[in-house]
Structures are given as C-alpha cells and as structure tokens.
Amino acid sequence: MKNIKPFFLLLLFGSCVFTNENLEPDQQTWNYALPNQFSLIDQDFLNLNEAILNDEYRNIHALVIIKDDQLIFENYYLDQQREDLNNIDNATNILASIAIGMAIDDGYLISIETPIAELLPEYENELSNDSLKKTITIRQLLTHRSGLSWDEIVSENDLEEMMNSNDWVKNLLKKPLDAIPGGRYNFNSGASMILSKIIQNLTNETLSSYIDRRLFKALEIEGWLWTTDPSGTTNATNGLYLTQLDFTKIGYLLLKNGVWKDQVILSDDWIYESTNAQHQPSYSYSLGYLWFQFTEEQGNAPYNSKRTFYIPGQTGYHLYINPEENLIVSVGAKNYFYRFFGPSYWLYFAIMDLHRDYL
C-alpha cells in the first residue's frame, strides 16, 4: 500500500480532516475529508481499496472520488503515482464535445445543425462522392449518427486503417455512407477527428491549443500531452494524456455548471444540452453529445444515478458525474478486452452501492 496518500492513511487511524493549510503542493483543488462526514462508512472504502489491491476489478490504476466538493478517496495501484500521465484513450472524445460548446460560447460557431461541408472546404472531393455526405451535421457527429461506414465494436480494422493514414480526417470522410446521416447509431470514436479539424478551422488554432487556452489554463492543468495525426490535427480520438486528478477536474467543472473559481469556463446551457440524452441506442444507455447516461429501462442501474452522465473509455478510463449525490468518480485502468462496460464500469456500481447500503 505504498502509494496510498497521507489523507487516506488517516482513515486507518480515524484522524481529523485536512484543512486548506494541509493541502499538498500538487493537489490544491479540493479539501480532504473522510467518508463518514457524508453519511458513508469509512470501513467500506477500506474494503473497496482492498478489493482493488486484490485485483478484483482487474488492472485498476487509479481511483479518485469527490463528494460534496471534498476529496474523500484517492489511491493509485500497480506502481502508478499521482503525477503520472496516462493515456485516457477514447475518453479523449469528450474534449471535442466540450470544445464545440466553447466554440459556440465564443461566437466561432452558430449552430451544431451546421453541415460539416460548410466548415471543411479542404475536403470537398471526399464529401462530393455522395451528395448525402454534405448533409452530415455537427450534431450527427456528436451523437454517433453520421452514417459513415465504420466498425469499432466487432474489430478495430477501421480505427487502425485511419491511424495508419497520413490524414485521418480524409480517411474518415472518404468512407462510404452505410446509413442516412442522422439515422442509425454507430459508435465511431474516429469521428472526433472531424470535430477536431472543425475546431481548428473555426478558431485558427489546433484543438489542443484551443483547449489549453480556454480550459486547461483555467483549471490549472499544466502537465499534459496530446498527440496529433501526421497532418498535425490534434488526435481527438485517443491522443490525450492526463494525470488522474486533472482528468477529475474536467468532470468537476461540469458538475459545477461550467464555473471554476468564480469564472465561467463553459456555459451551463451547453452542459445541460450535451449531457442529457439525445437518443437511446440501447436499453442500457442513452447518449448526449458524446456523453453516456444510464436508462430507466436498465434493470440493474446503479443506485441514485438517474441524472448521472459519464464517459467510458474503452481501456478503462472512466469519468462519472453524479449531480444527485454531488459526486465525481474518476477511474484509471488498462483493460483492453472489456470495451465500454468492464471493470471500471462495475467499480462505479460498487461505489454507488456504498451509498445505498448506508440507508
């Protein structure tokens, strides 16, 4: 248990809560607190920690829990440390959604109903081989309903083909349509590359530069790495590396309706629209603008999570924002064979059961 942070060790000895004066230099965002201050049971979290150490949730690297604006759990596993940068895989997509909202706030973009053809003149040839392609809108990219041919569930051939090309956006846009735009749902993390290029064209700066200027600097996210495709377009598919605490900050901003230290970073109108269900492709989840939600039809839905929205990175980097409980659950993992709903997903369920069991 060498990586357990000092505040968590306090659980073992039943000591007091940290105050601002005790915050560590690399964690100045939240005060520390114990679960029992929020009608939770300290021992339950120690048991959960032990289960993770015993690999019951498979390859969990990090777990951070924010409850009522306090940091009540933070631990790292499998030789991970607080300062480590890790690839959040396709959870990177969510930065494209946030950037579109910021572009609207900043006046760069009028509407997500705008056809992408109007914003990508350099891809006229790729968009002209089927007249329907020119009707694809930003909204359809945000809801995985572009109609572009893509398979990311059965195999990763399309993803690998895109990532081996010189221009990922061109590779995507030259693909044929296999559905009418706006119709059938088809998960496509590559489509965030198109959003990345749109942000670049609208703002005259790369997505990574725009996000750094508008989001990261405000949230005091200083250590990060973001890859590009060979053409220089920011990799919004799976290219962002963050520390677990900085990944958590993104969720906390949305929980606080876009306000950070009295500064409005993202409009609450966009947060409401983008994180609420726009369509339901499965009985077990709905989709907003790249954000997932639990559904009422889901028979085993987690406790008190009707308004929860989340991003389930395919390798296990998950971020859950639960307004009912004023809660953030931020999970880091490396699970390559479970897709969306693997150990990180069930870890969130276990944490919500700790809320249920107290009642």
DSSP string across 228-262: B-TTS-B-TTT-EEE-HHHHHHHHHHHHTTTEETT
C-alpha dist (Å) from residue 294 to 70, 157, 320, 332? 25, 29, 11, 20
328 neighbors 255 (Cβ within 8 angstroms) = yes
Find the domain containing 71 and state its range.
1-81+301-359
C-alpha closest to that of 30 among 83, 81, 67: 67
Is the same domain home to 186 and 200? yes
Residue 54, in any domain of the structure? yes
Round to whole Å and give the CA distance between 141 and 241. 23
Question: Both 282 and 305 in a single domain?
Answer: no
* 3-class DSSP assignment, residue 205: coil
Residue 133 domain flag: yes
Same domain assignment for residues 45 and 116: no
The secondary structure of residue 177, as a DSSP letter, is B
Distances (CA, A) of 57 to 52, 228, 353: 6, 32, 15
CATH number of the domain within which 271 lies: 3.40.710.10
Residues 163 and 145 in one domain: yes
pLDDT reported for residue 22: 56
pLDDT in tens, the chain (359 residues): 334 443 443 444 333 333 344 556 667 789 999 999 999 999 999 999 999 999 999 999 999 999 999 999 999 999 999 999 999 999 999 999 999 999 999 999 999 999 999 999 999 999 999 999 999 999 999 999 999 999 988 788 999 999 999 999 999 999 999 999 999 999 999 999 999 999 999 999 999 999 999 999 999 999 999 999 999 999 999 999 999 999 999 999 999 999 999 999 999 999 999 999 999 988 889 999 999 999 987 778 899 999 999 999 989 999 999 999 999 999 999 987 777 788 999 999 999 999 885 54
- Is residue 250 one of the residues assigned to a domain? no
Classified as helix, coil or strand, 20 is helix
Same domain as 90, residue 204: yes
Could you tell me if 231 and 92 lie in one domain?
yes
Residue 57 forms part of a structural domain: yes
Q: How many folded domains does the chain comprise?
A: 2
Q: Is the residue at 189 inside a domain?
A: yes
The Cα 139–Cα 299 span in angstroms is 29
What ranges make up the beta strands (E) of the chain? 31-32, 60-67, 70-76, 86-87, 225-226, 240-242, 259-260, 263-264, 279-282, 285-287, 292-293, 309-312, 318-322, 327-333
Give a yes or no: residue 247 inside a domain: no
Co-location of 174 and 196 in the same domain: yes
Q: Is 11 left (phi over 0), alpha (psi -120 to 50) or beta?
A: alpha
Q: Are 80 and 3 in contact (CB under 8 A)?
A: yes
Helix axes 6-13, 42-53, angle to 10 degrees: 120
Same domain, 133 and 188: yes
Regarding whether 288 and 308 lie in a shared domain, the answer is no
Q: Assess whether 29 and 133 both reside in one domain.
A: no
Does residue 107 contact residue 151 with C-beta atoms inside 8 Å? Answer: no
> Quick check: is 251 in a domain?
no
The answer to whether residues 103 and 109 touch, using CB atoms and an 8 Å cutoff, is: yes
Rounded Cα gap, residues 224 and 180, in angstroms? 38
Name the amino acid, one letter, at 201.
N
From the centroid of its chain, how far is CA 110? Answer: 24
Question: Is there a domain that residue 138 lies in?
Answer: yes
Contacts of 143 (CB under 8 A, 6+ apart): 185, 278, 279, 287, 288, 289
Residues 205, 115 share a domain: yes
Residue-level pLDDT at 25: 64
Do 278 and 343 fall within a single domain? no
CA distance 317 to 331: 6
- Give the span between the Cα atoms of 349 and 278, in whole angstroms: 23
